[in-house]
Amino acid sequence: MSDRTVLVVAHTGRSEAVRSAQLVIGRLAEAGIAVRALEGEAEDLSCPDLVEVWPRTPAAAEGVEVVIVLGGDGTLLRAADLARPAGAPLLGVNLGHVGFLAEAEREDLATTVDRVIERRYDVEERMTIDVVVRRNGSVAGTTWALNEATVEKAERQRMLELVVEIDGRPLSHWGCDGVVMATPTGSTAYAFSAGGPVVWPEVEAMLVVPISAHALFARPLVVSPRSAVAIEVLPDTAGAVLWCDGARTLDLPAGARIEVRRGAEPVRLARLHLTPFTDRLVTKFGLPVSGWRGRSRVAAQHHDPGKEPQVDGPGPPRCEPPRTSGGGGVPGDRAGGVPGDGAGPAADGHSTGAVEGR
């Protein structure tokens, strides 16, 4: 029996994910590493002699060295629900569109597996949020999110009437379509499309971003990771719904109170490349950087803080940032996700430490 175990999670609704998973499983098995697959996926992978089949519960990730996820960010978010309690790191291989949370692309699959076999990867932690829903003072439900928790109106025709509270003090009354409460990882996901700021991974904070608010003061807020954020659905308003990462949901009757704090458990991500977050943004968003010359190497080494840096020569006509994966949530998506992967929104934030549309 192998003393090393890897869990493979795949979006088996995509043929390319099935083929990629079969390659990963075969390569790991040849290296003498035990491989687990989830019920409902193992049958589609057609590798009965090479995998141990486990129920789709957090127990499937207990004791594994890493969870390799093949699909889009939505697939990775679903895998995070299994891996978070066990503290198992996730390594995403992007088979979707943007794949902000993924670390590798399909064309790098063989190299990625070899890095796992050789244990040549780093692990970073991403901040999460814990969510408690109360009704008449009693706990009506609990959940969590890696990207964001979103309070949304349940009836299309009517606005929500909400009161926002920060650290036990009321802040403002919003008539709106909803409110996004996001982590740095979720800052490039649903919060981004709602007008929130992009938060660099090293910054630990929570975002509060109103959606189409009819109010004088309805700006995106960035609060301390130690803060407690609460949203109260006013008694005379229509009902609402809570979405976490576009996957976990709770109904919110009028009068419900939603409390959001920093999560007790982070999500761990395996990283193959220590790429600057700026380069990740440029690559994933396709940002124009034509004309950038930067500083010359000599100027950078001998820069006087009191003077402007000098640049040698005209510089290249175009800067092509290195291709990279991972680092943030998916633009314009409500859980940070890529449409079609069956999950909700995503983004970036790590502390060492978005996704697919609903």
Q: Is the pLDDT of residue 352 over 90?
A: no
Backbone φ, ψ for residue 285 (5° rounding): -90, -5
pLDDT at 332: 41
Contact 316, 308 (CB under 8 A): no
Q: Is the pLDDT of residue 345 over 60?
A: no
Residue 277 vs residues 61, 129, 306: alpha-carbon distances, Å: 28, 22, 27
Cα–Cα dist 243/334, whole Å: 9
> CATH classification of 130-262 is 2.60.200.30, yes or no?
yes
> Where in the chain do CATH 3.40.50.10330 domains reside?
5-126
Cα–Cα dist 150/181, whole Å: 6
Q: Is the pLDDT of residue 152 over 70?
A: yes
333 or 264: which leads in pLDDT = 264
Which tens digit of pLDDT belongs to each residue from 155-193?
887 899 999 999 999 999 999 999 999 999 999 999 999
Backbone φ, ψ for residue 131 (5° rounding): -125, 130
Which tens digit of pLDDT belongs to each residue from 259-300?
999 999 999 999 998 888 899 899 888 899 999 988 755 454
Q: Is the pLDDT of residue 301 over 60?
A: no
Which tens digit of pLDDT belongs to each residue from 84-101?
999 999 999 998 776 788
pLDDT band for position 346 (cuts 50, 70, 90): very low
> Where in the chain do CATH 2.60.200.30 domains reside?
130-262
Q: Is the pLDDT of residue 114 over 60?
A: yes
Extended beta strands in the chain, E state: 5-10, 34-38, 52-54, 66-71, 90-94, 104-105, 122-126, 129-135, 138-145, 148-153, 160-166, 169-176, 178-182, 206-211, 221-223, 229-233, 240-244, 248-252, 257-262, 267-271
**DSSP conformation class of 229:** E
Q: Is the dihedral of CA 249, 250, 256, 259 positive or negative?
A: negative
Q: Residue 254: CA atoms inside 13 Å, Cβ hemisphere, count?
A: 10
Strand order in the sheet with 138-145: 138-145, 129-135, 257-262, 229-233, 160-166, 169-176
Name the superfamily (CATH) of residues 5-126.
Probable inorganic polyphosphate/atp-NAD kinase; domain 1 (3.40.50.10330)
pLDDT band for position 344 (cuts 50, 70, 90): very low
pLDDT at 296: 58
Which tens digit of pLDDT belongs to each residue from 186-234?
999 999 999 999 999 889 999 999 999 998 899 999 999 999 999 999 9
pLDDT at 302: 52
Q: Helix axis angle, 109-117 relative to 15-30, nearest 10°?
A: 30
Extended beta strands in 85-192, E state: 90-94, 104-105, 122-126, 129-135, 138-145, 148-153, 160-166, 169-176, 178-182
Which 3 state secondary structure label does DSSP give 257?
Answer: strand
Q: Which amino acids are annotated catalytic?
A: 73
pLDDT band for position 356 (cuts 50, 70, 90): very low
Tokens representing 235?
């008694």
Backbone φ, ψ for residue 30 (5° rounding): -60, -30
**DSSP conformation class of 216:** S
Q: Is the pLDDT of residue 341 over 50?
A: no
Residue 208 vs residues 33, 151, 166, 205, 230: alpha-carbon distances, Å: 43, 11, 10, 10, 10
Cα–Cα dist 81/95, whole Å: 20
Which tens digit of pLDDT belongs to each residue from 225-269?
999 999 999 998 888 999 999 999 999 999 999 999 999 999 999
pLDDT at 357: 36
Cα–Cα dist 223/245, whole Å: 20
pLDDT band for position 358 (cuts 50, 70, 90): very low
User: What mean pLDDT is reported for the chain?
Assistant: 85
